Structure 1
Amino acid sequence: MLCALIGSACAGARDEGGTDEADGQGDEFGGSQECEPDPRGTEPEVALPSPHEQLYELELDTWGISNAGGDPVETRTRMNEALAWALDNGFEGVRIPAGTYRVGEKTSDIYTAGIELPGSMDLILDPGATLEMAPNDTWNYCVVAVRGLEDVRIAGGRIVGDRDEHSYGGADDEGHGVCVEGASKRVLIEDIELTKLTGDGVLIVGQSEAGSCEDITIRNSELHENRRQGVSIVGGIRVLIEGNEIHHIHGTAPQFGVDIESLSFTSKDIMIRDNSFHDNQAGDFVNTDGTNVWFQGNTLDQGDVTDQVDGPIVFWKRTDQTIRDNVVIMHSPTVNGLWGVIGYTNDDEPRANPVPNYIEDNVFEGGGIHLARNHGNAVIRANQIDGWMILGSRLSCLRLSDNAVNKAEGESYKFREVQGVASGNLLNGAPVALPMSDDAPFTNSPPHLW
């Protein structure tokens, strides 16, 4: 589902050596005199679930549950029964002792069922506890499912997929560690390892009747070695992804650390901060349709990926985001070139969103900023770029200030058909003259070069 949209992204970008006949035509480009970008939205605040204090210590012998990787259908059935009993008897959650709990029951040709939380509760795994999906051949599964619930906390231990033992019959890209579905609200996932899933570590997805999920937090966790994504947001309002390590995502498209791609739902007011991203095959963060997205204080390192598909940070034209205080480390070009941030448009329709994309106070080591054909507003300020450049074309309202490019030779600031104001920008410590104005397109590189 997700790969259909993201998979086309590579064809939509141009690096600095490409050509684009549409860029050479100025008749469709336009901007207002004395342009002034609209203000960005406020920093998202995400509500946590209500606290739960009365937890049931799961009694394995009482329920006949194996913690040694026993029969997955029996383990699933009895564990779900224990969770429901706990809620019915006044408990607010369940603690799972150490051990390996293999779960999985094929309930249709395409779905293998795992643990299904029965209501508002905590599911707390001992640090030595592992919930493991049994090997299967289905396209879809959830090791733990949260469907239409409120005030849920899942914490501790490990959730492991069947990636290494799965019987693949196609893409088989919808096998997830935790599925937050059906307009669930106030869900906290923390202090947990999610790995070896055939799909995503965490999938947040809305429901057609109820809409998007709300107030979802994923923090202080490790998400790695999943085939499709670390986290997919397919309809999420007020989402916080904080303090995680997300790495080595590879196997089937899109292959990002975090992907916002809402389809028929809405994704907005999302904060992604203080995470460590590295060694992800397509990139670390992609936003196709989310608004008021804040991506800040993260570290992004290509690591050992030498053929990264899209780039560390990618966004599409319907979105708006604040990208600030990040460190982006690139060791080699992606398919698109040495771009730490790249804005896709993929066509010549004007960007309608009046809120600018803010790119500020970031450090780029070995990569730069690419906003070609973005047709709209942008604020690019106080970034440090070592070894590459800032590029933009057909921007109708740009605020470019106090950036520092350090580059031994070649192009550093490269613009065509850009309106806006530039001030305080440096090249190797010396001021750069970029005489932009709000009422006349500025060009400092001739069309025949790109």
Structure 2
Amino acid sequence: MSAAEKLQPLYYFVQPNSWGISDSEQNPEATTKGFNDALKYASQQAFPRVFIPKGVYSIDAVGEDERSPEYGGGISVPGNMGIVMHPEAIFKISPNRSQGYSCFYIGQVENVILSGGQIIGDRDQHDYYVPDGSIRKTHEWGFGIHIHGSQNVEIDNVRVSECTGDNIWIAAKGMMNWSTEYIPARSVTVRRCILKRGRRNNLATNGCEGLLVENNDIEEAGGSEIGPQLGIDLEGYGDKGIKYDHPYKLRIVGNRFSKNGRGAFRAHTSGKVIAKGNFSDDVFSYGFSTDVTIKDNHIINESDTPKEYGIDSIGVSSTESGNRANISGNTISGFKTGICARGKGITVADNTLENITAVGIHAYLSDDVHISDNRIDSNCIHFQVLRSKDVKIDNNKSKGAIDKYTLKLMNAASVSINGNKTEGYGGLYCESSTSVRAFHNEFNLTGAGYGVYWGKDCDVHLDGNWIIGARGTPIAGNADQFVNSVHGNRIIDCKAIIGVHLVGGRAHSLSENIVKFNRSTDQGYGFYLSGTDGARLIRNDVQVVNDKKIIHSFYTEKATNTSLMQNTYSGGTVKTAAGDTLRE
């Protein structure tokens, strides 16, 4: 360090009277000019830090560009400068009727720190006048802090509230794949701030490469007619395979979200996003984004009314091949749907869900989904797959479905269900679904629902499942269109009239299953086939564990060409049709 550098003071202390600055909320134009002159002087003199004292400062935040008055308005922060504000340095945006404004404008500079102080917008005093012929009509471009194509920016311990747009807006200069120059904001950090009542959002970006939002309180966004009304909105944009705005490499860590109008957090069309360790009372969404991790968050709605989604999504962007989203380790409570996984390449693992009223984990319009090691305790459908394919559901535990099936498949294809333990009214229910494989699951039935049911247009194969306490039929299939197999299943403490019931179809295979009846009255059928042709029953066993009687252990009289081989039974008789093959 040179002698001159040693003598250079670290701070330039702004003296309001020296620059025509009012510290009593007067003269917004002169006050704003005074701050800009003071910062320009400090920059020219190479002061690395500027200190702004206590005071209430009225700021003329409207820029001179009539079309985009949010550019260059308010206090323009030079590069290579840290501004430290007294905790009671309050910057109030002078009420105006402009479509846009910026209290602090950080435009195409680098190495900026903004620390301390309070910024208060004019949301409740704003004149929302829209002149005839105006292109802009919503007044949603009023910003407390506007970071525009700048890099290495840190916003620390600032309170920002009441802006007509976003309290903090982090934007690229220009658009990708467009005729204009494109300069994204880069390496931006927002930490220890309080962001409250932003009319549009509390914090948003359309083009930032490298963003850290950490340890902030983010509250009460929205409440107006405009959207999106989110705590944080990462709002990229693409169309027909072309990216125009694309936030990238973003971390949302350890924040506290409360009472934001339409949700806490959304990564609309972004890439490489991590949302970890946050506390929220409303939805997190990965939208159309790719390479997203939503991990270890507490998303808990404690109001009396369930909200729609704990974690939501939209699908795959037209510019991408998949979402590659990882949703893991979250605690979710108080929603209609806990997790809705749309898109392609989704992992949903090790989440805990409680107080869900409709669906716990919903794979919807999705492809390549893995749902594993989750815990659900709610009266809802625990796992639902709708209009999706290539879905794997394994090693989950769920209970509490008093009047709902624990698993439900509709218009699904290539679904593997393995090693789950569920408790509820019914087990697995399938409609219009193909290539369904359910093996080594444990379905504990507390109601009168089926253990496993599938409709006539389903292709289902069961292997090694335990179905316990069934009052409705443990295994029931309307098997018209596909060849189905039922192998090695254990039906225990069966109180239903029929243990295994297949209707329709041909060449089904039922082998090495065990049905143990524990009914309170006489009557019952172990295996009941109706309208099937060429089915094979091999080495199945039907037992009655109390003194009640069943009618037939194996009943195939209403089927044709059934083969029964090496089956055993302790109650009832075998009732076959002409043309059946019976080998005991």
TM-score range, shorter chain: 0.7 to 0.9
How far residue 318 of structure 1 moved from its aligned partner, in angstroms, is 4.2
Residues 89-129 of structure 1: per-residue CA shift (max 9 Å, x gap): 22123110000111106524452721011322011110110
Indicate the residue corresponding to 2:83 in structure 1.
Answer: 123
Give the one of 348, 352, 372 matched to 1:380.
348
Q: Give ranges in structure 1 of 5+ residues lacking alignment.
A: 1-51, 303-311
How far residue 65 of structure 1 moved from its aligned partner, in angstroms, is 1.5
How far residue 142 of structure 1 moved from its aligned partner, in angstroms, is 0.4
Indicate the residue corresponding to 1:255 in structure 2.
Answer: 229
Distance 2:34 2:432 in 1: 68
Percent identical across equivalent pairs? 25
Q: TM-score, normalised by structure 2?
A: 0.61
Give the 3-state SS of the residue equivalent to 1:257 in structure 2: strand
How far residue 394 of structure 1 moved from its aligned partner, in angstroms, is 4.3
Number of residue pairs matched?
379
Judged with a 3 Å threshold, the aligned counterparts in structure 2 of structure 1 residues 269 and 332 are, in CA distance, closer, same or farther, namely farther
Conserved? CA contact 2:389–2:413, under 8 Å: no
Indicate the residue corresponding to 2:19 in structure 1.
Answer: 63
Are positions 1:96 and 2:49 aligned together? no
Distance 1:290 1:210 in 2: 17
Give the 3-state SS of the residue equivalent to 1:253 in structure 2: coil
Are positions 1:391 and 2:347 aligned together? no
Distance 1:405 1:351 in 2: 35
Indicate the residue corresponding to 1:306 in structure 2.
Answer: none
How far residue 262 of structure 1 moved from its aligned partner, in angstroms, is 2.4
Give the one of 393, 402, 411 matched to 2:381.
411
Judged with a 3 Å threshold, the aligned counterparts in structure 2 of structure 1 residues 413 and 369 are, in CA distance, closer, same or farther, namely same
Distance 1:174 1:447 in 2: 48
Indicate the residue corresponding to 1:313 in structure 2.
Answer: 284
The letter of the residue matching 1:323 is I
1:32-431 aligned at under 5 Å gives the runs: 54-104=10-60, 106=62, 107-109=64-66, 111=69, 113-169=73-129, 170-182=137-149, 184-208=150-174, 209-250=181-222, 251=224, 252-263=226-237, 264-302=244-282, 312-330=283-301, 331=303, 338-345=308-315, 352-354=320-322, 356-367=324-335, 368-371=337-340, 374-388=342-356, 389-407=360-378, 409-416=379-386, 417-428=388-399
How far residue 354 of structure 1 moved from its aligned partner, in angstroms, is 4.1
Conserved? CA contact 2:323–2:343, under 8 Å: no
Indicate the residue corresponding to 1:10 in structure 2.
Answer: none
How far residue 285 of structure 1 moved from its aligned partner, in angstroms, is 0.6
Give the 3-state SS of the residue equivalent to 1:119 in structure 2: coil
**Range with greater deviation from structure 2 (163-172 or 140-149):** 163-172
Judged with a 3 Å threshold, the aligned counterparts in structure 2 of structure 1 residues 120 and 401 are, in CA distance, closer, same or farther, namely same
The letter of the residue matching 2:376 is V
How far residue 332 of structure 1 moved from its aligned partner, in angstroms, is 6.1
Indicate the residue corresponding to 2:476 in structure 1.
Answer: none
**Range with greater deviation from structure 2 (87-96 or 232-241):** 87-96
Structure number with bigger Rg: 2
Distance 1:397 1:227 in 2: 38
Distance 1:259 1:73 in 2: 32
Residues 57-100 of structure 1: per-residue CA shift (max 9 Å, x gap): 11122222110111000001111001101111221231100001
The letter of the residue matching 2:344 is G
Judged with a 3 Å threshold, the aligned counterparts in structure 2 of structure 1 residues 350 and 66 are, in CA distance, closer, same or farther, namely closer
Residues 163-194 of structure 1: per-residue CA shift (max 9 Å, x gap): 12111124111000110002x11000010100
The letter of the residue matching 2:21 is I
Judged with a 3 Å threshold, the aligned counterparts in structure 2 of structure 1 residues 439 and 255 are, in CA distance, closer, same or farther, namely closer
Q: Work out which structure has the larger RCO, using CA pairs closer than 8 Å and 6 or more positions apart in sequence.
A: 1
Judged with a 3 Å threshold, the aligned counterparts in structure 2 of structure 1 residues 92 and 297 are, in CA distance, closer, same or farther, namely same
Judged with a 3 Å threshold, the aligned counterparts in structure 2 of structure 1 residues 149 and 332 are, in CA distance, closer, same or farther, namely farther
Give the 3-state SS of the residue equivalent to 1:127 in structure 2: strand
Conserved? CA contact 1:333–1:339, under 8 Å: no
Conserved? CA contact 1:287–1:319, under 8 Å: no
Residues 307-333 of structure 1: per-residue CA shift (max 9 Å, x gap): xxxxx1122234331001001112366
The letter of the residue matching 2:272 is N
Judged with a 3 Å threshold, the aligned counterparts in structure 2 of structure 1 residues 444 and 351 are, in CA distance, closer, same or farther, namely farther
Give the 3-state SS of the residue equivalent to 2:327 in structure 1: strand
Distance 2:393 2:408 in 1: 6
Conserved? CA contact 1:87–1:93, under 8 Å: no
How far residue 428 of structure 1 moved from its aligned partner, in angstroms, is 2.4
Conserved? CA contact 2:246–2:270, under 8 Å: yes
Give the 3-state SS of the residue equivalent to 2:286 in structure 1: strand
Q: Which has the higher strand share?
A: 2
Q: TM-score, normalised by structure 1?
A: 0.78
How far residue 375 of structure 1 moved from its aligned partner, in angstroms, is 4.0
**Range with greater deviation from structure 2 (208-217 or 350-359):** 350-359
Conserved? CA contact 1:161–1:195, under 8 Å: yes
Distance 1:136 1:412 in 2: 51
Conserved? CA contact 2:184–2:207, under 8 Å: yes
Give the 3-state SS of the residue equivalent to 1:344 in structure 2: coil
Distance 1:96 1:350 in 2: 47
Conserved? CA contact 1:320–1:353, under 8 Å: no
Conserved? CA contact 1:383–1:403, under 8 Å: yes
Give the 3-state SS of the residue equivalent to 2:50 in structure 1: strand
Distance 2:389 2:33 in 1: 62
